[in-house]
């Protein structure tokens, strides 16, 4: 699993509340990514990071922010959760020098 841990694994939250998902890696990889998975859409990139404090937007970044203050942690925040953000969220890393991604176990988020 390339040393990737996502937390929490499941969460139910109410509309309008802030939510933070955490991705932790143990191998000091530079590149980290957040994707969301929805039926009929595959996985879509939300935000990504090239290093500490170096982040950028992906295809579906509206309503999300990220932070990376340490190499090992990449946080995804929903400032005010909406029902459209109900999804499965995957963190991924790229070991660098190789292009295949390794994914975490995923976080299932339900916004009610």
Partner 1 sequence: GQQVMQIPQYQHVQEGEDFTTYCNSSTTLSNIQWYKQRPGGHPVFLIQLVKSGEVKKQKRLTFQFGEAKKNSSLHITATQTTDVGTYFCAEVEYGNKLVFGAGTILRVKS
Binding positions for partner 1, rule: CB under 8 A: 31, 33, 35, 40-45, 48, 50, 58-59, 90, 92, 94, 99-106
DSSP class of 59: T
Whose Cβ is closer to partner 1: residue 18's or residue 32's?
Answer: 32
Closer CB to partner 1, 84 or 105, in the complex: 105
CA distances from 48 to 12, 39, 112 (A): 24, 22, 27
Nearer to partner 1, 85 or 89 (CB): 89
Give the CA angle between residues 61, 64, 65 to the nearest 5°: 105
């Amino acid at each position: 699993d390339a040393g990737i841990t996502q937390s929490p694994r499941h969460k139910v939250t109410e509309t309008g509340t802030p939510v933070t998902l955490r991705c932790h890696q143990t191998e000091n990889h530079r590149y980290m990514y957040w994707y969301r998975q929805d039926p009929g859409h595959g996985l879509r990139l939300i935000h990504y990071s090239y290093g500490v404090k170096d982040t950028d937007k992906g295809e579906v970044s509206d309503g999300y922010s990220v932070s990376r203050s340490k190499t090992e942690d990449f946080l995804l925040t929903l400032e005010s959760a909406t029902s459209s953000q109900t999804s499965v969220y995957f963190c991924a890393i790229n070991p660098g020098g190789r292009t295949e991604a390794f994914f975490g176990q995923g976080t299932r988020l339900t916004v009610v």
